């Protein structure tokens, strides 16, 4: 059963995680993937996310997909308790996941019931395709990405950072372009999309 905790800004909604996970998080090991932020100038959210997880008692096990060897990728994604993917550039993230085969492993783990926590780019890569995010993230960051087909774990399109600086106009632009053709789900930094099996709800303010 799918168990997905999708956020725009994890730090702002982290207090919702314990109830959603419905288990004791202390001592659990989370595979922490910061890859999307590797070439981003603004990346404070990576440190913030890691610190929040540690304060919750989780053991954070870093996995930089773009440089890790295949055996490390397989081992950490399969053996650790949870998977956390940070924000950053969704196109670069998808490129690296596809190059290493981590996309398939993550999908398999999600479908097997492993809790997945996404933040911004980490949330949107679960869609069928990330083409709709070209106005938010620069696709030129992923020159080796030949298709924008993503993990296809969810059948809608999360649109993070609604009404949040500096993405206010960007989100409005994306909505005007795609709301008639895609099932967009805009959500703010203080909201999370919670998916348990086939049940989807937006929590927070």
pLDDT at 65: 97
pLDDT at 205: 80
Residues of the chain above pLDDT 70, percent: 100
Q: Summarize the confidence of residues 2-28 as an average pLDDT.
A: 93
Question: Do the Cβ atoms of 4 and 195 come closer than 8 Å?
Answer: yes
Cα 78 → chain centroid? 17
Banded pLDDT at 41 (limits 50, 70, 90): confident
Question: Do the Cβ atoms of 36 and 88 come closer than 8 Å?
Answer: yes
Per-residue pLDDT tens for 57-106? Answer: 999 999 999 999 999 999 999 999 999 999 999 999 999 999 999 999 99
Q: Summarize the confidence of residues 46-58 as an average pLDDT.
A: 95
The strand ranges marked E within the chain are: 3-7, 29-33, 59-62, 82-85, 115-119, 157-159, 184-186, 191-196, 199-204
Could you give the residue numbers annotated as active site? 120, 161
pLDDT at 1: 86
Domains and CATH numbers, the chain: 3-204 (3.40.50.880)
pLDDT at 22: 82
For the entire predicted model, the pTM comes to: 0.96
Per-residue pLDDT tens for 140-167? Answer: 999 999 999 999 999 999 999 999 999 9
**Rounded CA gap, 118 and 155, in Å?**
16
Residues of the chain above pLDDT 90, percent: 93
């Amino acid at each position: 059963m799918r168990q997905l905790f999708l956020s725009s800004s994890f730090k702002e909604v982290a207090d919702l995680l314990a109830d959603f996970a419905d288990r004791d998080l202390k001592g659990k090991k989370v595979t922490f993937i910061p890859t999307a932020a590797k070439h981003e100038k603004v990346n404070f959210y990576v440190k913030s996310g890691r610190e929040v997880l540690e304060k919750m008692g989780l053991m954070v096990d870093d996995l930089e997909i773009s440089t890790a060897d295949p055996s490390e990728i397989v081992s950490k994604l399969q053996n650790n308790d949870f998977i956390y993917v940070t924000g950053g550039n969704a196109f670069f993230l998808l490129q690296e996941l596809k190059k290493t085969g981590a996309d398939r492993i993550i999908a398999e783990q999600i479908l097997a019931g492993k809790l997945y926590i996404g933040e911004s780019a980490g949330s949107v890569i679960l869609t069928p395709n990330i083409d709709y995010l070209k106005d938010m993230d620069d696709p030129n960051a992923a020159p080796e990405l030949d298709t924008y087909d993503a993990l296809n774990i969810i059948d809608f399109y999360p649109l993070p950072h609604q009404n949040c600086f500096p993405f206010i106009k960007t989100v409005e632009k994306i909505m005007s372009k795609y709301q008639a053709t895609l099932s967009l789900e805009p959500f703010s930094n203080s909201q999370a999309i919670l998916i348990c099996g086939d049940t989807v709800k937006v929590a927070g303010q």
